[in-house]
Each structure stands twice: as structure tokens, then as C-alpha cells.
């Protein structure tokens, strides 16, 4: 698996990853290391990793890759929050929460994102779609 790091700074990281299942693990490991280094609480880190997993999983299941056969994963840490985003080549439908019966076996990804984040949304730019979530971060002290 080839990982192209597009950008990284103390507060922001952008990864260009292959449009494949293994990229979710790569992104999670990198985010986990960044959050650990920043002293993020275990609970907040767990929530962020779950949101990242759901966003990447949704992109892989429901969208097309970017023109280079990739997806872009990014996170920006602010003083009291974290924005996580996943950009893909868009899909046939607009990302939205589903109203599912309790017996449904899947389709709850954006409901999980909604529950764990203070806000989430969709940005479209030409041939790409970005789904983002903003998570509050508490002090780990």
C-alpha cells in the first residue's frame, strides 16, 4: 500500500491513500499516533477513531475513488476540537442518515458520526465529495 502524505503540520494532517479497505487501518493508526502525541484523552481518541472509521467505510462502500484511484483523509486539531474529513470521487447518492428499523444490520454509520460529533456535513467540489465531522475534545488532564 502506498501512502502519499499531502500535508502535515502540528495541527493538520492530510493523507492521500489508496481507495481500498486497508487504508482505513492506515488512517486510524496515524490519527491515533497524532492524538496520543497531543495528549488527547482516551475517550476522545476512541470517538475520533470510530468517526474516522465510519467516514472511510462509507466512502469505500458508497462512492468512487478520486481520479488518481485514491481517497483523501484529513484532520485538523484546534484547541478544543478536531475536524475529520474524508474526500472521495462522489457517488450516486448524497451522504445522509437513514431512518432504519431496529432490526437493520447496517446503514448506521452517519448516525454514529452524528451522535459523536458536534456537527457534520457534506461539501461538494466538482468531481469530489467531502464528508466531515467536528468532534469536541476535552482536556486529558
Q: What domains lie within the chain, and their CATH numbers?
A: 4-95+107-136 (3.30.565.10)
pLDDT at 38 over 70: yes
Q: Please report which confidence band the pLDDT of residue 36 belongs to, taking 50, 70 and 90 as the band edges.
A: very high
pLDDT at 41 over 80: yes
What are 19's three cell numbers?
481507495
pLDDT at 55 over 70: yes
User: What's the whole-model pTM score?
Assistant: 0.84
Q: What is the reported pLDDT for 137? A: 87
How do residues 18-30 score in pLDDT, each as one tens digit?
A: 999 999 999 999 9
Question: Given CA atoms 113, 109, 24, 29 in this order, what sign does their dihedral have?
Answer: positive
Average pLDDT, the chain: 85
How do residues 60-79 score in pLDDT, each as one tens digit?
A: 999 999 999 999 999 998 87
How do residues 113-124 score in pLDDT, each as one tens digit?
A: 888 999 999 999
Long-range contacts of 137-140 (CB under 8 A, 24+ apart): 137/40, 137/41, 137/44, 137/77, 137/80, 137/81, 137/82, 138/41, 138/43, 138/44, 139/41, 140/39, 140/40, 140/41, 140/42, 140/44
- How far apart are alpha carbons 140 and 45 in whole angstroms? 10
Q: What is the reported pLDDT for 99? A: 64
> Is 51 in contact with 24 (CB distance < 8 Å)?
no
Amino acid at each position: 500500500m502506498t501512502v502519499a502524505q499531502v500535508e502535515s503540520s502540528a495541527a493538520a494532517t492530510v493523507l492521500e491513500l489508496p481507495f481500498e479497505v486497508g487504508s482505513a487501518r492506515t488512517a486510524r493508526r496515524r490519527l491515533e499516533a497524532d492524538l496520543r502525541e497531543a495528549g488527547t484523552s482516551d475517550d476522545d481518541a476512541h470517538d475520533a477513531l470510530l468517526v474516522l472509521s465510519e467516514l472511510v467505510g462509507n466512502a469505500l462502500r458508497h462512492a468512487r475513488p478520486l481520479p488518481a484511484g485514491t481517497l483523501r483523509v484529513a484532520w485538523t486539531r484546534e484547541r478544543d476540537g478536531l475536524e475529520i474529513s474524508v474526500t472521495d470521487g462522489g457517488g450516486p447518492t448524497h451522504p445522509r442518515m437513514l431512518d432504519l428499523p431496529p432490526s437493520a444490520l447496517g446503514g448506521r454509520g452517519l448516525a454514529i458520526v452524528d451522535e459523536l460529533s458536534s456537527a457534520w456535513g457534506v461539501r461538494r467540489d466538482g468531481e469530489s465529495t467531502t464528508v466531515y465531522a467536528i468532534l469536541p475534545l476535552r482536556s486529558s488532564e
